[in-house]
Amino acid sequence: MPQKKLSVVPFLVVGISVCLIAASVLSSGAPAGRTGAPGDLTCADGGCHVSNAVNTGDGSVVIEGPATFAIGTPVDLIVRASKPGAARFGFQITVRDMNGSMTGTFEVTDGTQFADFGLSTAYLTHASLAPRAPDTYQWTVRWNPPTENATDVTFYASGNAANGDDTNFNDFIYTTSSQVKYSGHTGVERDAIPSRLTLNSAFPNPANQLVNIEFSLSEASSVSGFLYDGRGRVVAQTTSAVMTTGIGQISFPTATLPPGMYSYRIEAAGHSRAGLIVVVH
């Protein structure tokens, strides 16, 4: 079946930056155990940001990523915190297996670090001295599955939408979770909800002049693609177009991009999938 392609509209965004928890003592990242996972606190009920109850106001934090994982294949996730009018953002994420234990390992990517100044590796949080951003910001997270005894896992994340006044008042804390199933499992439960959008590959990766993202659709849908730099700024996006079922492909030009790690996101059929590429010159 011939591949279908979307044209790309380069879209440079200047001045969008990351955010962090407003109080200066937490600007180096949230303390461990602030994700809202079972047994965890948040930065609201932990006493760090005291003005608003958790998950109030018109903001949110979301986790985007694959529906399944396999041993030996890293899992790339996007954590996005948003609130209209917010000026700085922070986040923290952890993962638990079916027994409630932390499993696998996180990697430190651009704009992230382990909690408690690198000591609590079960918790990944925003990096220190992160710049400000209006309304929204996202981080790219990479998790490496365990090499044995894998089970379905649940990621838990919290986001802080701060007003940027460098105090711990009038900020908003949001929580979310996302289950990712171990692909070694079989059964009716997973098969009953087939994914309508599947990422196949990104090539070449590392990329020099151009990167192609191949995906599969199980139904006709409007498809959009976004490419982000390490600070979450949109550096390229495709024009939205309706594509038929089967294998599709979008391409992003990379020749003028600085070398480094970039994340991409594909939206189609009510689903969103994300991954990482490396640009080299």
In whole angstroms, what is the distance from residue 120 CA to residue 125 CA? 10
* Band (157; pLDDT cuts 50, 70, 90): very high
The answer to the question of residue 274 being in a domain is: yes
Q: Are residues 208 and 230 both part of a single domain?
A: yes
Assign residue 111 the CATH number of its domain: 2.60.40.680
pLDDT at 8 over 80: no
Q: Looking at residue 56, what is its pLDDT? A: 93
Give me the pLDDT at residue 21, please: 34
Residues 8 and 33 reside in one and the same domain: no
Each residue's pLDDT tens digit, 174-218: 999 999 999 874 333 333 334 678 888 889 989 999 999 999 998
Rounded CA-CA distance 176/251 in Å is 31
Residues 155 and 234 in one domain: no
- What is the secondary structure of 11-32 as a DSSP string? ----S------SSGGGTT-PPS
Residues 202 and 233 occupy one common structural domain: yes
Query: Looking at the domain assignment, is residue 190 inside a domain?
Result: no
Kindly state whether residues 174 and 239 are assigned to the same domain: no
What pLDDT is recorded for position 189?
Answer: 38
To the nearest 10°, report the CA torsion of 221, 184, 61, 160: -150
249 lies in the same domain as 129: no
- In this structure, is residue 164 part of a structural domain? yes
Could you tell me which of 233, 281, 274, 235 has the C-alpha nearest to residue 260? 281
Single-letter amino acid code for the residue at 49: H
Would you say residue 61 has pLDDT above 50?
yes
SS3 116: helix
Are residues 75 and 166 part of one domain? yes
Please give the single-letter amino acid code of residue 135: D
Q: Are residues 164 and 206 in the same domain?
A: no
pLDDT at position 49 over 80:
no
Reported as a pLDDT band with limits 50, 70 and 90, residue 23 is: very low
User: Residue 120 is encoded by which pair of tokens?
Assistant: 């609590």
Count structural domains, the chain: 2
Is 233's pLDDT higher than 80?
no
- pLDDT above 90 as % of the chain: 36
Both tokens assigned to 192: 């009953």
Are 94 and 217 members of one domain?
no
Q: Which residues contact 186 (CB under 8 A, 6 or more apart)?
A: none
Greater confidence, 41 or 196?
Answer: 41
The share of the chain scoring above pLDDT 70, in percent, equals: 83
For tokens 């939206």, name the residue: 267
Query: What domain range is 38 assigned to?
Result: 24-182
CATH code: domain of residue 250: 2.60.40.1930
Please indicate, yes or no, if residue 90 is contained in any of the structural domains. yes
Which of 153, 182, 211 is the endpoint of a domain? 182
Among 182, 211, 232, the domain-final residue is 182
Residues 41 and 8 in one domain: no
Residue 194 falls in which region: left (phi positive, over 0), alpha (psi -120 to 50) or beta? beta
- The rounded distance, in Å, linking the Cα atoms of 277 and 275 is 7
